[in-house]
Amino acid sequence: MIDKYGDKIVPLERESSSQYVGLPLLAVTNLSLLSLSLYSGINDLPVSEIFVLSIFPGSMLSLWQLQILHDCLHGSFSSSDKKNISVNSRKQLQDNVLFWGSMPSIFGYYLYLRYGHLTHHTNVGDPDKASLAKLFDSDKSNFEDGDVLFVSHRMKLKGEIGPTFQLPFFEGTPLPNKITMSISKSGFSQWKTLTAAQPGNLPWNVVMFASSFLFERFMLLLNDFVVAIVGRNFFFPNKPDSFHEECTEYARAASLLRGTLLLIGGWKSLLFLFLSETLWSIPPHPSSAMFVSNHPSSIEEGTGDCIPSMSTYAGRWYSLFTLGTNFHCEHHDFPTIPFNKLHELRQIAPEFYRSGSDDDIIEVMKKSFTDPDFYACMDVHKNA
């Protein structure tokens, strides 16, 4: 693609920046989330109204927060041709935006972005690295593939599960001195998927996914309070002290803000944030379509090759609602192109991407929840 269209694509990578779009939009997004959170709590809104408010605009704002922070992580806030900006200044800006820009939130996107997303681009679908056991047992600061934390709720994975917790008080007894568990895999194992004997049970699978996903996210909220108090994240026992120190710093700042919201607005202020951060991932929310289908094991008809990334093309309003998150294949092809420029790739190199903008998002969700794939061609890699 670069050989053919490099004169148009390279400037998008090196000279484009989303800073003057992303930073103001992030400020507006986070201020809106904060205001709506307080509004929900102070006015003691009924749960039904909070639910509706969380679907729109709450879920959209939370997704925007993720996408803008994600752009910052990839360095898209500063174009590479700006020589007057030092590397240290860029790194400091990036760190500050990722840390403070991920608030307000309930479990937030900071940990995933800081330690799990860039390695996701390197190891996506690698069966030797992208497993729950390797992610939780690793002694490296970065996760081997942070997306495994999400896809384990709804896709097939190779490798062992995790995390494993040591139980030293059972040493020397007939009882096991360690336990391995996975909320996500426990939920996914209950799915009734498509087989030769039965069709996939869409409603049941969505309920199982929503149950495990929401429960795990609630446990992450509680875990942040534990980390803030004890100064260690017990889900990752082998990671270096620097990892735990940064986790603790963030958990304390985020917990302080959540505690303040709880004090001012009560539990309903936190409920709004919780629903805003989770509902966009769960069917029948429209954004769920691009989230649950972004790393399939699709087979290209012409070549028979397995394609590990997929975009969802459902029109301009859909792209605006997701802030370009739906251009996932384009993003993996060129990770440093800003979110507000990704759509141009289909115009520049149309033969490399699917045409049209009429994807049926209901059908996309139906396929993902009745006949789930292996994550990102993971089952193909084993034979490579």
Number of domains in the chain: 1
The string of DSSP letters for 317-354 reads HHHHHTTTTT-HHHHHH-TTS-TTTTTHHHHHSGGGS-
Q: What is the pLDDT of residue 172?
A: 82
Q: What is the pLDDT of residue 85?
A: 63
Beta bridge partners of 166: 178
Burial of 373 (0-12, 13-18, 19+ CB in 10 A): buried
From first CA to last CA, the distance across the chain in angstroms is: 24
Question: What is the spatial distance between Cα 308 and Cα 295, in angstroms, rounded to a whole number?
Answer: 5
CB 155 within 8 A of CB 191: no
Beta bridge partners of 53: none
The string of DSSP letters for 49-91 reads HHHHHIIIIIHHHHHHHHHHHHHHHTTTTS-TT-TTS-HHHHH
Smallest CA-to-CA distance from 260 within 56, 87, 104, 100 is with 104
CB 143 within 8 A of CB 129: no
Q: What is the pLDDT of residue 79?
A: 62
Phi, psi torsion values for 78, nearest 5 degrees: -135, 125
Maximum distance among all Cα pairs of the chain, rounded to whole angstroms? 68
The three-state secondary structure class of 116 is helix
Q: What is the pLDDT of residue 244?
A: 98
- Rounded to two decimals, the pTM is 0.95
Q: What is the pLDDT of residue 171?
A: 83
Q: What is the pLDDT of residue 384?
A: 39
Burial of 34 (0-12, 13-18, 19+ CB in 10 A): middle
- Structural domain including 329 reads 2-381
Chain centroid, CA 215 distance in Å: 16
Mean pLDDT by 10 residues, the chain (384 residues): 95 90 97 99 99 99 98 83 66 92 96 97 92 96 96 96 88 86 97 93 98 97 97 96 98 98 98 99 98 94 89 98 98 97 97 95 98 94 47
| Number of other CB atoms surrounding residue 47 within 10 Å | 11
